[in-house]
Amino acid sequence: MADEVVITCALTGVLTDPKQHPVPVTPEQMAASALEAFNAGASVMHIHFRAQQAGRGHLPSWDPEVALAIANAIRSACPGVILNFTTGTVGRDQKGALACIRAGRPEIAACNAGSLNYLKVRANGTWAWPPMLFENPVDKVEELLVVCRETNTRPEFECFDLGIVRSVRMFSEVGMVAKPNYNLVMGVASGMPADSDLLALLLRYMKPGALWQSTVIGREEIWPVHRKTAELGGHLRTGLEDSFYLPNGERTRGNGQMVEALVKIAEMCGRKVVAPERARALFL
């Protein structure tokens, strides 16, 4: 139904330092944060895995035992929850990400659908980090899709620009995937901006009838994009991976508050936030 909407919560990001931000790291912390989001209305949890050693919680981990421990903790805390694993590796090698999928067998896995020069410039005109290529060639995408079929995991195609949106449709045309699902990533400095005016144009280039949602990165500017996504029939995502700021500009205390704010936007737009059982029927 067009009025139904599934909410995803991205619990934590790639490198966010837990000493500076309220991001969960351990399986227990991830489960507690997921439960807050779950109770607020999120049916899907997007998960990044962090190193578990003391003082290293700001670093990513591709240890399948860590992935499984986090997955089990969240599933235990949130009955019926849908898990969405991150898979993003900067280079071509994604063996760790594939091992995590095989270990945790998530219902959904992110599939970064095209390469991107990952850039950001500081106010003083210097690079925020050395320019790097987020490398996602077609053979890397195909490799991930093989494992998704093996584990009965639905790929979610992460699209950072219009060209990647168009590529996903071509993946479908050549038989790589039957029913592509799009995640429009907006707000990366060298990708699509967080601009609600882009959404109607992007929809024009998707496969007709496909599921889609927006991941919007930033501060106050993200919330009008969430609202437009709701108005256009997309599904919704928020969480501490994407922002630390509520619609009023205040810093959030955690994932539960972020989901509560998104639920209010969905309902103002006439959308009905669905529970996990219905989310499974719509998404999987």
Q: Is the domain 4-283 a CATH 3.90.79.10 member?
A: no
Least Cα distance to 235 among 49, 84, 71, 118 occurs for 84
Query: In terms of C-beta distances under 8 Å and separation of at least 24 residues, what long-range contacts does 266-270 make, across chains too?
Result: 266/5, 266/7, 266/230, 266/236, 268/227, 268/230, 269/227, 269/230, 269/231, 270/3
Q: Where are the domains of the chain?
A: 4-283
In the predicted structure, residue 260 carries a pLDDT above the cut 60: yes
Q: Would you place residue 1 in the very low, low, confident or very high pLDDT band (cuts 50, 70, 90)? A: low
User: Would you give the end-to-end CA distance of the chain in angstroms?
Assistant: 15
Counting residues of the chain whose pLDDT is more than 90, the rounded percentage is: 92
pLDDT in tens, 267-282: 999 999 999 999 999 9
Q: What is the pLDDT of residues 101-150, one digit of tens each?
A: 999 999 999 999 999 999 999 999 999 999 999 999 999 999 999 999 99
Confidence at 68, pLDDT banded by 50, 70, 90: very high
Spatial distance between the Cα atoms of 171 and 183, rounded to a whole number of angstroms: 15
The string of pLDDT tens digits covering residues 168-214 is: 999 999 999 999 999 999 999 999 999 999 999 999 999 999 999 99
Share of the chain above pLDDT 70, in %: 99
CA dihedral 12, 191, 91, 58 (to 10 degrees): -20
